[in-house]
Amino acid sequence: MTWRSTGVTIFGFGPGPCREILVEGSSVLLFLRPDGPVALEGLCPHAGGLLVDGTVTGDRITCAVHGAQFAIRTGAVLADPGGVEPPEGGVDALRSYPTRVRGGLIEVDL
């Protein structure tokens, strides 16, 4: 594994349910959950929408562009645009990245 710093501290995560960062040119969406940080691909694979602009409800994020829904913990597709539930539809899952905390900073492995 090659860990990369996000520059985000576990203590200064900031307001809101998630935060978008760029790590080596890749959009990564960080969530701070009760059991630790979670990192997902930051762009919706359906139409490239910025997921940071989406809505977080419980353990799911909904893309603001076309409404695709993904599981925060795994990146799995919960509903395609228009509410089509898997296994129907054709939206790919989000990439999920391992995270760890070192010296208070959140790191991801791309």
Cβ proximity of 28 and 40 under 8 Å? yes
Asked whether the predicted pLDDT for residue 85 surpasses 90, the reply is no
Asked whether the predicted pLDDT for residue 39 surpasses 90, the reply is yes
Pair of tokens at residue 49: 């929408």
Can you tell me the mean pLDDT for 17-43? 92
Say whether the peptide bond before residue 87 is cis (omega within 30 degrees of 0): yes
What is the phi/psi pair of residue 71, to 5°?
-75, 130
Under the banding of pLDDT at 50, 70 and 90, the label for residue 29 is very high
Q: What is the pTM of this model?
A: 0.89
Per-position DSSP letters for 23-76, written without gaps between them = ETTEEEEEEEETTEEEEEESB-TTT--BGGGSEEETTEEE-TTT--EEETTT--
Question: Whole-number mean pLDDT of the chain?
Answer: 89
Pair of tokens at residue 1: 């594994």
Cβ proximity of 84 and 68 under 8 Å? no
Under the banding of pLDDT at 50, 70 and 90, the label for residue 28 is very high
All structural domains of the chain: 3-109 (2.102.10.10)
Top pLDDT among 13 and 105 is at 105
